[in-house]
Amino acid sequence: MEINDLKKKFEEIYGVKSEFTFFSPGRVNLIGEHIDYNGGFVFPCALDFGTYALVKVRDDNKLNLASTNFELRIGSDLDNLSYKEEDDWANYPKGVIKIMIDMGYKVKGMDIIISGNIPNGAGLSSSASLEVLIGVILNNLFNEGKIDRVELVKIAQKAENEFVGVNCGVMDQFAVGMGKKDKAILLDCNSLNYKYADVKLLDYAIVIMNTNKRRALNESKYNERRAECEEALKIIQKQKNIKNLCDLTPKEFDKIEYLFTDEKIKDRAKHSVYENDRVISAFDSLNKGELEEFGRLLIESHNSLKNLYEVTGKELDSLVEEALKAEGCIGARMTGAGFGGCAIALVRKDKIDTFTEQVKKTYTERIGYEPSFYSSGIGEGTHQIFE
Ligand code: GLA
């Protein structure tokens, strides 16, 4: 929805004009999947599309939330914010606000309208986008913009972990909050050290492909993988003094592989160690303009997520396989949590039209419904829009 239409909508709902406008992007992860919670490196970037919020500060203690994407509206007192299943999307803003109140940050009553253009459940972090958005609103409007951005990122993650109950890592909130135009972020999830990297794709572009299988963050499977990694870590710690699975190099891992009696647990650990190594290689190859090598690493990453980590499924696998058959595509992989949602493909710019046409056709033949394709630039992290 255009900002001006959104402003009209705000007036329609609340009977007053909005005062402030904010934007928060979605994210895509280039490589480094399911290792943010294993102390590994990830390589995400913020997207051009995301979530808008219009805000009017109120004189009382009331929080009103509406969205153009969902019918549901809620009204609540600020001192009475609790998780309610039926509050659905509104639990994300409520969670961030509650946690910030509990931490002693200043908050006042607000009327808010949210409007997002990130496809829901596509694994492009619509929830992290919304969480960081609310954190930045509270920072800019009531806390003089003094809260450090990385602190806000951690607060957003905490809201998801503790209020919503999804045990996610820090990658999504970090990419959303710290994104920079035309840059990917190489983030060490153990230390939270990071650096920005140019994404020089030369004659190529990243195409985002949605399986259109709703991912609905398969929470139980996600939390199960985390538990399996913790089990693997304990087994390794009997021999080696490490803090995270990703502290190991592939060579070190190969030497202690014999410690595992359960193949599944070994595979989860192996994915984590090797994926971490691939992130660094991918970062280097992108820097050197070695796109073929970068593409090869994307494919390797997908295969590892399929065979060792088992988080792909037939939709993501079909989409990636069909993408790789198409002319001009030199790499593809699932992105995000998996089990559905989106994949990315590295495609020659002059082949994008024929690529999407072919993949749409062959994926639909295999799966029975169409995929969607998006092209997005790399955008800025969450910010206030001054008009
Ligand atoms: C989800 C989580 C992230 C990360 C990815 C997988 O997006 O929110 O923390 O674990 O899955 O890489």
Encoded amino acid at 228, one letter: E
Task: Indicate whether 28 and 116 sit together in one domain.
Answer: yes
d(CA 219, CA 227): 12
Query: Ligand 1 pocket, 337 CB below 6 A?
Result: yes
d(CA 350, CA 260): 48
Task: Indicate whether 163 and 131 sit together in one domain.
Answer: yes
pLDDT for res 387: 80
Encoded amino acid at 24, one letter: S
Q: Is the dihedral of CA 298, 233, 173, 339 positive or negative?
A: positive
Task: Indicate whether 17 and 115 sit together in one domain.
Answer: yes
Task: Indicate whether 173 and 272 sit together in one domain.
Answer: no
For residues 64, 65, 67, 70, the Cα torsion angle rounded to the nearest 10 degrees is -110
Pick from 124, 127, 164, 171 the residue to mutate for probing ligand 1's pocket: most ligand atoms within 8 Å of its CB. 171
| CATH code at position 317 | 3.30.70.890
Task: Indicate whether 265 and 228 sit together in one domain.
Answer: yes
d(CA 226, CA 232): 10
DSSP state letters, 304-322: HHHHTS----HHHHHHHHH
Task: Indicate whether 250 and 290 sit together in one domain.
Answer: yes
Q: Which of the following is catalytic: 172, 247, 277, 317?
A: 172
pLDDT for res 214: 65
d(CA 111, CA 59): 11
pLDDT for res 122: 87
Distance 154 CA to ligand 1 centre (A): 14
Q: Is 88 a catalytic residue?
A: no
**Nearest C-alpha neighbor of 88 from the set 73, 77, 102:** 73
Task: Indicate whether 132 and 234 sit together in one domain.
Answer: no
Report pTM: 0.97
Atom index in ligand 1 nearest the CA of residue 42 equals 12
Task: Indicate whether 117 and 12 sit together in one domain.
Answer: yes
Starting at the edge strand that comes first in sequence, how are the strands of the sheet with 329-334 ordered?
329-334, 342-348, 204-210, 372-374
| CATH code at position 38 | 3.30.230.10
Instruction: Identify the domain containing residue 329 by its residue range.
Output: 204-375
Query: Ligand 1 pocket, 172 CB below 6 A?
Result: yes
Residue 26, C-beta contacts closer than 8 angstroms, at least 6 positions apart: 46, 47, 49, 50, 51, 118, 124, 125, 126, 129, 176
Q: Is 222 exposed, middle or buried (0-12, 13-18, 19+ CB in 10 A)?
A: buried
Task: Indicate whether 16 and 150 sit together in one domain.
Answer: yes
pLDDT for res 1: 79
Query: Ligand 1 pocket, 36 CB below 6 A?
Result: yes
Distance 333 CA to ligand 1 centre (A): 15
Give pLDDT tens digits along the chain (387 positions).
789 999 999 999 999 999 999 999 999 999 999 999 999 999 999 999 999 999 999 999 999 999 999 998 999 999 999 999 999 999 999 999 999 999 999 999 999 999 999 987 788 999 999 999 999 999 999 999 999 999 999 999 999 999 998 899 999 999 999 999 999 999 999 999 999 999 999 999 999 999 999 655 567 899 999 999 999 999 999 999 999 999 999 999 999 999 999 999 999 999 999 999 999 999 999 999 999 999 999 999 999 999 999 999 999 999 999 999 999 999 999 999 999 999 999 999 999 999 999 999 999 999 999 999 999 999 999 999 998
pLDDT for res 215: 57
Please give the tally of structural domains in the chain. Answer: 2
Task: Indicate whether 275 and 193 sit together in one domain.
Answer: no
Query: Ligand 1 pocket, 308 CB below 6 A?
Result: no
Task: Indicate whether 285 and 172 sit together in one domain.
Answer: no
Task: Indicate whether 176 and 249 sit together in one domain.
Answer: no
pLDDT for res 218: 65
